[in-house]
Structure 1
């Protein structure tokens, strides 16, 4: 009975881990003195990914993006004010820097979000930039710890199943492509072959995400 209950808890981690992380991160942010602790559970929810490694990568990107966005906006806001053009200018600047550093697109999104929110709330709540950074760190840390320490997801069985299906698709695609070439590569079938190849490699991308 105990073993069955343990299996149920383990296999349904996505159901209970996220709300647990949201609740604990809210309480931790309040304990740390935050007057608006919603940023902590928001970060905790966003950080929950399929695998622990993906969660850790997203948490790191959100923390770095938040710090960079807050720092840049807090320094520049007094000179540009709040308007659609100032938001666009700062987001453009952040995106250009990330592009220049060859970093992940997710980092651009996190910086842009921080720029937008800090630019809007800083005039109404001067302490918002500090709270945003602190509560983001709290939410990210809580989410990663819960995901990694409490029944961490075992993606190996799922990855094996997807690898088997991918191998079967690859074999079928090989024979279909060979048959297409043998018949002289008719243009009428070319788009069909291309579409199937794109679908197959999208499937491979999902497999890579599962493997983390």
Structure 2
């Protein structure tokens, strides 16, 4: 029976759920901010060391497993921005033109020193703050060393304070990817032979599921990389590597699932293909269900071979019964999904399933 006391639908249930999920991250940020501030004071800060405290706020606001990379990107951005501003101010007096030049150079360097794949605006922001200060040289020096102190504290404490459990995170991500791919397969089969609006709606849903699987694969890669810097989770390295491999495999399957949805959307509404779609509707839903079952088993870590074999046999029977182009096009994505599920890992490759 569902525990109604902790249900988000009841008063206080949502607050407790948020506290469980977001509380550790908030506590990690709070403790790290205080530690970075105090460390900067111990190092001789004669002004409130705000820049040291900003680093953990920025580096830990997202996935804590990426704190190291974010901290290093912030340091590089600050140093680059400070150097740009000082160089420009040594050549010209502050003006609208020099302001534009400083920001333009900062954005240009930020394109190279990208933050998580996006434009790193930290460079331009640091340049602008130095540019606007009455004592740019001393301000720039304070900003650099305080930022470095804050980054050092963040890098040291982030893996130790309520460290995220990558094994649990990736287990949830893997299950979510499996469910999304399964729903995409069965949902596409369900609209086969129906109206064009239903097929287009299904295609949009499948694309949303595919994007979510891509995001899960990116998160898995980040978790696997971050585990190298987490001394408290070293024993999980093998299981995390295995789960990350499964999610990477799901990312590859997503393209074939999207292809099937695209084929169904393209065929639906064509009067000349109505007989072909009617025949396909008798076969494809069962085959999609068998393939979806194999995907779910693989992503949960169970052996999918029996489900793959059953789906293969069904596809072979369908091929013998109908060799028309529409049937071939609908079978092809399912074959490719099963092909990827059957690829055995080599010794120098991380296991994809198993």
Q: Structure 1 regions of 5+ residues with no counterpart?
A: 1-10
The residue correspondences of 1:88-99 to structure 2 (distance < 5 A) are 88-99=100-111
* Structure 2 length-normalised TM: 0.50
Picking from 180, 197, 208, the partner of 1:199 is 208
Tell me the alpha carbon deviations over residues 68-103 of structure 1, each in whole angstroms, 9 at most, x when there is no partner: 11111111124444455533332222322343x474
Offset of residue 204 of structure 1: 2.7
TM-score, length of structure 1 as denominator length: 0.78
Asked whether the equivalents of residues 99 and 131 of structure 2 are also in contact (C-alpha less than 8 Å), the reply is: yes
Aligned equivalents of 1:208, 1:129: Cα separation in 2: 39
Alignment of 1:56-135 (within 5 A): 56-83=68-95, 85-99=97-111, 101=112, 103-104=114-115, 105-106=117-118, 108-121=120-133, 123-124=134-135, 126-135=137-146
Name the CA distance, whole Å, in 1 between partners of 2:95 and 2:199: 50
Mapped contact 2:84–2:105 kept (Cα < 8 A): no
Q: Deviations over 1:33-89 (max 9, x none)?
A: 222301111112211155554101100110111111111111112444445553333
Tell me which of 161, 165, 170 is aligned to 1:159: 170
The answer (yes or no) to whether the contact 1:158–1:210 under 8 Å persists in 2 is no
Partner of residue 32, structure 1: 43
Task: Report SS of the residue matched to 2:48.
Answer: coil
RMSD of Structure 2 on Structure 1 (CA): 3.0
Q: Report the CA distance shift for 1:37/1:106 in structure 2 as closer, same or farther (over 3 A).
A: farther
1:114 positional shift: 0.8
Tell whether the 8 Å contact from 1:23 to 1:41 is kept in structure 2 after alignment. Answer: yes
- CA 1:97 to 1:20, structure 2 compared with 1: closer, same or farther past 3 Å? closer
Give structure 2 stretches of 5+ with no counterpart: 1-21, 223-354
Q: 1:77 and 1:195, CA in 2 relative to 1: closer, same or farther beyond 3 A?
A: farther
Q: Residues 131-158 of structure 1, C-alpha deviation per residue, up to 9 Å, x if partnerless?
A: 1111111111111211113442212212
Instruction: From the superposition, tell whether residues 102 and 13 of structure 1 become closer, same or farther in structure 2 (CA, over 3 Å).
Output: closer
Larger Rg: 2
The Cα of 1:190 is off from its aligned counterpart by: 5.6
Aligned pairs, number: 200
Q: Which residue of 2 aligns with 1:8?
A: none
Bigger relative CO (Cα 8 Å, ≥ 6 apart): 1
- Alignment correspondent of 2:193: 183
Contact 2:130 2:136 in 1 (8 A): no
